[in-house]
Each structure stands twice: as structure tokens, then as C-alpha cells.
Structure 1
């Protein structure tokens, strides 16, 4: 069976173009132009990935993402935004989006990112817990954990990032993370802020003091390293 995408986009020309693009690349595509109808469709079906425009009639893409995350921690969600400011990116990722692309975007980059999300959407239910310390642990299957006695919810990307860093005993560069965690074959034209934003979000979840991290440490000029203590 072909993977099915849901695209919620209110500009007809962009919607037709995206539909044709992903059908060409082997997907089935459902679509909606209205936010409320997009949410309804998303809740009624199982999609390989949901692409949400931020600015929609009746309900924004941010609001749809927030509602979907209340019932599914594992649904792959890609935000399509006309804005590329860091605050807009942070808003989408903070609400649970797995990735974002800012308009105008490269169609090849968009397909690459969606393919990466879909490829990484199947979790091994028997994957062992990630133990960072006696105070911090993560369950990859449920995307939940505890951090200093507080319950924490993670996104799929955050767990994948932690899992990869934990397997390395060295600093890992942004380019390597984009290759190994995001699944990009080439990274020359890809915005690396998404890595930095995910690192910042993870520090808020796993560090007792995010401004003075002990687990997820930056080595200037080398990359990020995850330490267990």
C-alpha cells in the first residue's frame, strides 16, 4: 500500500502543486482547504504524514497541531509557514510539529524532509529505555519519560536525537545530525537552525538547569555531546 499524506492548505494553486508533487513521488494524497475540516479529516484517518499550512480559514495550523498532539504523540506533522523567523519556528516545534518548511520552499527539499519523517515514523516497540542518569529516563515507544521526578513528553524527533547522541561517545556536528537523524543526504542548503532549536527544547526537558547543561553539552566548533551521569 502507498503511504497517504494529508495536506491542509488554503491556496488552491499551492495545494494542486503539492498534490501533484507527492503523487508523482509515490504517495496517495488527501487534502483540505479549511482548518476545521482538516482537523476532522486528520482525526478520522491514519496518515503517514500531515502537512499543515499555518494560516488557514477557521483554525490555524498551529491550533490543529496542538489538538492532534493531545491524542497522538507519534503522528508525523510537517508545518508549512510563510514566515521563517525563529519565533514562528519555535512555536510550531513547541506545539509538537516534527519539522517545518518556510515558503517559498524548494519542492525537492520538501519531498526530502517528508520522506525522512515517514521513514522514521515506525518505532520499535521493544527498544530499551534511554537512561541518562538516575534522574532522567526516556521511553522511546511511548515518547514519555521522567526528569527530576517530573513527567515529560517528547516528540519522535527528540527521542531519535537523544538515541543517536547516546550511541556516540564523542561530539556530533550539526551536519552529522542532519544526515543521521533527519535523514538528509545533502545538507548544504538546509537551514541548521532546526537542530539548534531541538537541542534547546531538549535541554529544557532533561536538564535541571538548561542554562548550565550537564547532559547535553555544546563543544564549540565540534558539536553536541550527550553525557550520562
Structure 2
């Protein structure tokens, strides 16, 4: 018997919560939900979920606070954040915290399904842990999502490691569209905001570069895309 993916939705708007619950049940998910931030946090920390969808604006405890608490327990739990706001600051805030994905209201239900499905599919990293070596001072354990960078311990999100691993495999420039298809798992990228890619790249540079504004390893090649240069892998 095929095991259903399990989803926790923490959303305080009743109509949206009902709609999302029905949507994901229809698509074969087992769904649990909470409307209060503290109750959502308690359930998130006690359960095992294929993915957690967090609204940012919640009573008692907001989505960012819930996210931080989850990350103290698990670095690999897939998390998608929802917000009614669509400003650059909010997007950067959500992704800087390390959320695997971010979607602003109002959103397309088909896009939400695609994003959650892609998160779950890519969360099951398989195979043995291996070390991705950027240079003599920067290396990453790809399964444990931790590494060292210039004598400092560094934690990575699954998405960041997947981006680095894919770029390392390609050995050539990779466009934003290709990253969205191969790393995020989107079949079509026409309606996808490419700022998501840029924000993730900026976050990675802060972890692997001495001077992020002048990258030596994760570089942008104008008109071609991003390329990762490693001393070995």
C-alpha cells in the first residue's frame, strides 16, 4: 500500500484553511491543521510531516517564530511559508531564515500543489553522505546539511545543498530557469518569480565566500547563469 504524504497546515483564516485542507486531501495527502500559532508549533514539534505549510501572520506565535523553533529540532523538515504580503523585504526575510519555499497570497492552488510536491520529492535525499569541497577552507556534508567555512561551523538548508550539488555536477553555467526546473522541480517557469533563485544564491555566497559581493566560487556569468568553481569534489 502506498503511504500518503502527511501535511501540517498552520493558517488562521478559516476559509483558506478549509480550502487548502480539501485541496490536499483531494490530491492524496493526509492533512492536519491548526489555526493558532502556539498549537501549530506544538503539533509541528511532536509530529512527523512530509511538509509543513506556515502562514506568517498567526495569533499567539507568528510563522517566523514557529519556523525558528522547528529548525532548532530539525534542519531537514520541508517548510513552505505563506504570507498575505508580497514585498521584497518579506520574501527576503522568509528565505533568509531558511524556509524551503515561499508563496505570497493570493496564490494559484496548482502552483502550491506543485511546490509542495517538489519539496517532498526532493526532501528524500538518498545515498551515502559525501563531502562537497569548495576549497581547502569550505566543505559541506550533503546529507547532514552542515559544513565548515573558514574555521566556522555552517548550517545549510536542503535547498542550498541541492543547488550547490547540482551546480557542481554540471560543471558549466546554469540559468535561473534550469535551476527552477531541476532543483525546484517546476515543469514550467513562466509564472515563477526568479527572485527566489537570486535570494538563495545570495544566501549561499554568504556561507562559502570570503567576500560575498565579490564571489570567487559561486559566480554569475552575464547572459549565461550561475557556475560553481570548486578545487575538488
Question: What is the TM-score with the length of structure 1 in the denominator?
Answer: 0.98
Alignment correspondent of 1:113: 115
* Structure 1 residue ranges without an equivalent (≥5): none
* Corresponding residue for residue 99 of structure 2: 97
Counterpart Cα distance in 1 of 2:62 and 2:215: 34
Shift of 1:125: 4.9
Counterpart of 1:56 in structure 2 is 58
Distance 1:44 1:66 in 2: 15
Moved over 6 A (4+): none
Which deviates further from its counterpart, 83-92 or 42-51?
83-92
Paired position in structure 1 for 2:67: 65
Q: Tell me the alpha carbon deviations over residues 52-110 of structure 1, each in whole angstroms, 9 at most, x when there is no partner.
A: 00000000001000111011000000000111112111111122210000000000000
Q: Is contact 1:144-1:152 (8 Å) kept?
A: yes
8 Å contact 1:117–1:182 — kept in the other structure? yes
Task: Determine if contact 1:66/1:96 at 8 Å carries over to the other structure.
Answer: no
Partner of 2:77: 75
Is residue 137–residue 150 contact of structure 2 (8 Å, CA) maintained in 1?
A: yes
Shift of 1:201: 0.2
Match of 1:169 in 2: 171
Residues 51 and 119 in structure 2, CA contact (< 8 A), matched pair in contact too: yes
> Does the 8 Å CA contact 1:8/1:31 hold for their aligned counterparts?
yes
Return 5+ residue gaps in structure 2 as ranges.
none
Q: Alpha-carbon deviations, 1:17-70, whole Å to 9, x = none?
A: 000110111101000000000000001100000000000000000100011101
User: Counterpart in 2 of 1:146?
Assistant: 148
Q: Which residue is 1:195 aligned to? A: 197
Tell me if the contact between 1:7 and 1:31 (Cα under 8 Å) persists in the aligned partners. yes
The one-character-per-residue Cα deviations of 1:185-226 (angstroms, maximum 9, x if unpaired) are 010001111000000000000001101100100001110000
Contact in 2 for aligned 1:73/1:143 (Cα 8 Å): yes
Q: Number of residue pairs matched?
A: 229
Alignment deviations for residues 113-164 of structure 1 (CA, whole Å, 9 cap, x no partner)? 0000000111225032111111110001110001111110000000000000
**CA distance in structure 2 between the aligned counterparts of 1:41 and 1:96, rounded to whole angstroms:** 20
Q: Distance in 2 between matches of 1:96 and 1:176?
A: 21
Equivalent position SS for 1:79:
strand
Which is further off, 98-107 or 81-90? 81-90
Q: What value does the CA root-mean-square deviation take over the aligned residues? A: 0.8
